[in-house]
Amino acid sequence: MTTQASKTASSQPKPKIGYWHLWADNDGISHQVRCELAHFELHGVGDAALQWNDPQETGAATVVLVVLPVRWVGEWHENPTPQWIVPLSGRWFVESMDGTRVEMGAGALSLGEDQGCVKDARGRKGHRSGTLGDEPAVLMTVQLHVQSVHRSCHCK
């Protein structure tokens, strides 16, 4: 049985979800670039109306909820493993070695994949991050148990 919601979904263009990708190039320098997840297909879940899904690679992962205190700054470091980061509340920033600084709030999406960076002449390695404003930043991270890929926007 086709529902009105399913007809409506199928008549709309495939969605795209933007995300920030923090990655390390082959020289060990971190960068940030805006990418898109765009391989959505319509599927139903049980008896629910059709919805757009973009499944990512299957593998082991660990979910870690993080609370960064007000005025917290994580000086230069790498992500512990490739991980999706979703701010749930508050605001935070990520600065890469190339000087790009991205500020994010609730609902933003970031892929932290800067493993393998090389310390530069200024002592920077990986990224620097911290909270913005007068409230903690609450983040959900999904740590992927995979090797990092030294190529921007490889997740589609």
pLDDT in tens, 97-127: 999 999 999 999 999 999 999 999 999 999 9
One-letter amino acid at 42 equals L
The owner of tokens 């059709």 is 50
Position 5 scores a pLDDT of 58
Highest-scoring range by mean pLDDT, 18-22, 41-45, 152-156: 18-22
Residue 152 counted as domain residue:
no
Mean pLDDT score across all residues of the chain: 93
CATH at residue 68: 2.60.120.10
Residue 4 counted as domain residue:
no
Residue 76 counted as domain residue:
yes
95 touches 112 (CB < 8 A): no
Write down the H helix ranges in the chain. 4-10
pLDDT surpassing 50 at residue 1: no
Q: Which residues contact 135 (CB under 8 A, 6 or more apart)?
A: 70, 89, 90
Number of domains within the chain: 1
Residue 92 counted as domain residue:
yes
Task: Bin 153: left if φ > 0, else alpha if -120 < ψ < 50, else beta.
Answer: left
Residue 43 counted as domain residue:
no
Residue 51 counted as domain residue:
no
List the end-to-end C-alpha distance of the chain, in Å, as a whole number: 31
CA 86 to chain centre: 6
94: phi then psi, degrees, rounded to nearest 5? -135, 130
Residue 44 counted as domain residue:
no
pLDDT in tens, 62-81: 999 999 999 999 999 999 99
- Average pLDDT on 16-29 reads 97
**pLDDT > 70 in the chain, percent:** 94
Measured distance CA(92)–CA(76) in Å, rounded: 15
| Structural domain boundaries, residue 77 | 17-35+56-144
Which one-letter DSSP state was computed for residue 126? S
**pLDDT > 90 in the chain, percent:** 83
